[in-house]
Amino acid sequence: MSTAAISVEKIEKTTRGTVRLDGTDWTAMSDETRLAKLHKDGFAILPSLLSGQELDDILGELADLPMNTAPYSEEQKFAAEPPQWHSQKFAEVIGSKRLTDFVKSALGDDIVFMLGMYVRSGPGVPGLALHSDYQPYGSEPKGWNESSPSTLRVLIYTEDLTLDQAPFTIVPGSHLSLHEHSNPYIRYDNHPDMVTLSPKKGDALIFNVKAFHGTHPHLGPKGRGMFEYAYRPAWAKCVGEVEEWNAADVAAAPEIAKPYLKPRNSGDPVSALGTSLDAQESQFRGIAPVLP
Ligand SMILES: O=C(O)CCC(=O)C(=O)O
Ligand SMILES: [Fe+2]
- The whole-number pLDDT of residue 166 equals 97
Min mean pLDDT across 79-93, 166-180, 278-292 is at: 278-292
Q: Calculate mean pLDDT across residues 37-42.
A: 98
Say if residue 1's pLDDT is above 90: no
Considering all CA atoms of the chain, what is the largest pairwise distance in Å, rounded to the nearest integer? Answer: 65
CA distance 188 to 131: 7
Q: What is the DSSP letter of 158?
A: S
**Band (5; pLDDT cuts 50, 70, 90):** low
* The pTM of the whole model exceeds 0.85: yes
Say if residue 6's pLDDT is above 80: no
**Band (10; pLDDT cuts 50, 70, 90):** confident
For ligand 1, say whether the CB of 145 is within 6 Å of any of its atoms: no
Q: Domain map of the chain by residue range?
A: 11-287
- The whole-number pLDDT of residue 290 equals 85
**Band (9; pLDDT cuts 50, 70, 90):** confident
**Band (106; pLDDT cuts 50, 70, 90):** very high
Please give the residue that has the higher pLDDT: either 28 or 209: 209
Please give the residue that has the higher pLDDT: either 205 or 290: 205
Q: Probe ligand 1: pick from 128, 195, 210, max atoms within 8 Å of CB?
A: 128
Say if residue 75's pLDDT is above 60: yes
Q: Calculate mean pLDDT across residues 230-242.
A: 98
Model confidence pLDDT, tens digit, residues 182-217: 999 999 999 999 999 999 999 999 999 999 999 999
Q: Calculate mean pLDDT across residues 158-172.
A: 97
For ligand 1, say whether the CB of 196 is within 6 Å of any of its atoms: no
Q: Calculate mean pLDDT across residues 42-53.
A: 98
CA of 150 to the centre of ligand 2 (A): 15
CA distance 166 to 184: 22
For the chain, give the mean pLDDT: 96
Helices (H), the chain: 31-41, 52-62, 88-94, 97-107, 247-251
Closest to 237 (Cα-Cα) out of 157, 164, 141, 150: 150
Region of 41 please: left (phi>0), alpha (psi -120 to 50) or beta: alpha
CA distance 131 to 209: 9
- The whole-number pLDDT of residue 2 equals 45
> Distance from first CA to last CA of the chain, Å, rounded?
44
What contacts 99, CB < 8 A, 6 or more positions away?
Answer: 46, 49, 93, 154, 204, 229
Q: Probe ligand 1: pick from 75, 209, 226, max atoms within 8 Å of CB?
A: 226
CA of 215 to the centre of ligand 1 (A): 7
Return the CATH fold of 11-287.
Jelly Rolls (2.60.120)
